[in-house]
Structure 1
Amino acid sequence: MRRLVYLFAFLVPAGLLAVAFYMEYVMGLEPCPLCWLQRFAFMAVGAVGLVAVLHNPGNIGSRIYGFLLALTGGIGLGLAGRQLWLQSLPADQVPACGSSVDYMLEVFPLIDVLAMAVKGTGDCAKVVWTFLGLSIPGWTAVFFTLIILAGLGILFGLVRGTSTDR
């Protein structure tokens, strides 16, 4: 069962990243700095899931992977929560629009780019797409929450391996 969870921890972020790139390159939706950071969080979750499914660890290793899934999912949820907060602000409290991520990476050191991205900009507050009443960061928050729950389930032994797992 754990290995199946690891596989989903790889496949779900991979699918969501494919959707994000479709939205960017086909639909023309430009990702804001917080969107980029959420993509990186999904990449981290997917990497943990892929390594875990290939490694097929025993109990102690599974707990480590569970912790890493919960941690990377928690970081992503925090970023999605920040963007949802920005989207909920009244128009007069929304921060000014900032530079593109490409420009910031050319001009500023990486640590400054990360700090500016986490703060968010007016671009991050725009709701450019919704599905069933949730914006993009709303949906990412849902998926990050599911990843956190799966990671905690593995960490605390609620999701067990099968007889073929070590």
Structure 2
Amino acid sequence: MTRFQLTLLATAGSAALMLGALGFQYIGEMPPCKMCYWQRYPHVAAIAIGLLALVFGSRLLLLLGALAALTTAGIGAYHSGVEQGWWEGPTTCTSGPIGDLSASDLLAQIMDAPLVRCDEIPWELFGLSMAGWNMVISFGLAVVWILAARKS
């Protein structure tokens, strides 16, 4: 495969994983946990990097794409370990700005928000959760990025 084809494959891989995550969230009604969001950010970066690399063909961009894929794979590995109970996950939660909400409006907003725990597996296939699949596929995408960088 050419450098262009490999770059396109790696970029499309991250885009497909993001579309899958959004599909699970909005169609499958499985809201993401905090660590699920963490895994999405490097994919968004990889997509942007990939689009730039397709235009400019920079080896540095290809290596940054590999770094983004390895980052999300690492977060996926950490998240999988939390789901399996191998180690503890984050104990903190985040929330948005309160703004001009009254106490009763704030309480209603909190009570209506879905409770999503990082240590529960909402879906799995062949013994791997979504985080596990993200890890495996993202490691593969990192290899594709590196192969593309070697061709430039």
- Matched with 1:68 is 64
TM-score scaled by structure 2? 0.77
Alignment of 1:9-158 (within 5 A): 9-55=10-56, 57=57, 61-62=58-59, 64-89=60-85, 99=93, 101=94, 103=95, 105-106=96-97, 123-155=117-149, 157=150
User: Distance in 1 between the 2:51 and 2:79 partners?
Assistant: 27
Q: Which runs of 5+ in 2 are unaligned?
A: 99-115
Q: TM-score when scaled to structure 1?
A: 0.71
The 1:139–1:95 alpha-carbon spacing in structure 2 relative to 1, beyond 3 Å, is closer
Whether the aligned pair in 2 keeps the contact of 1:86 and 1:125 (CA below 8 Å) is yes
Quote the offset at 1:21 in angstroms: 1.0
List alignment gaps of at least 5 residues for structure 1.
108-121, 162-166
Distance 1:71 1:94 in 2: 25
Per-residue CA distance 1:11-70 (angstroms, 9 max, x = gap): 111121111111111111010111001111111111111111122x2xxx22x1231022
CA distance in 1, matches of 2:74, 2:97: 26
Aligned-residue offset at 1:124: 1.1
Give the conservation status (yes or no) of the 8 Å contact 2:53–2:62: no
**2-structure distance, mates of 1:96, 1:82:** 11
Q: Secondary structure at the match of 1:123?
A: coil
Aligned residue pairs total: 134
| Aligned-partner residue type, residue 146 of structure 1 | G
Q: Which runs of 4 or more aligned residues in structure 1 lie more than 2 Å from their structure 2 counterparts after TM superposition?
A: 93-99, 151-155
Tell whether the 8 Å contact from 2:79 to 2:89 is kept in structure 1 after alignment: no
Q: Distance in 2 between matches of 1:72 and 1:137?
A: 16
After superposition, the Cα gap between the structure-2 partners of 1:95 and 1:39, relative to the gap in structure 1 and judged at 3 Å, is closer
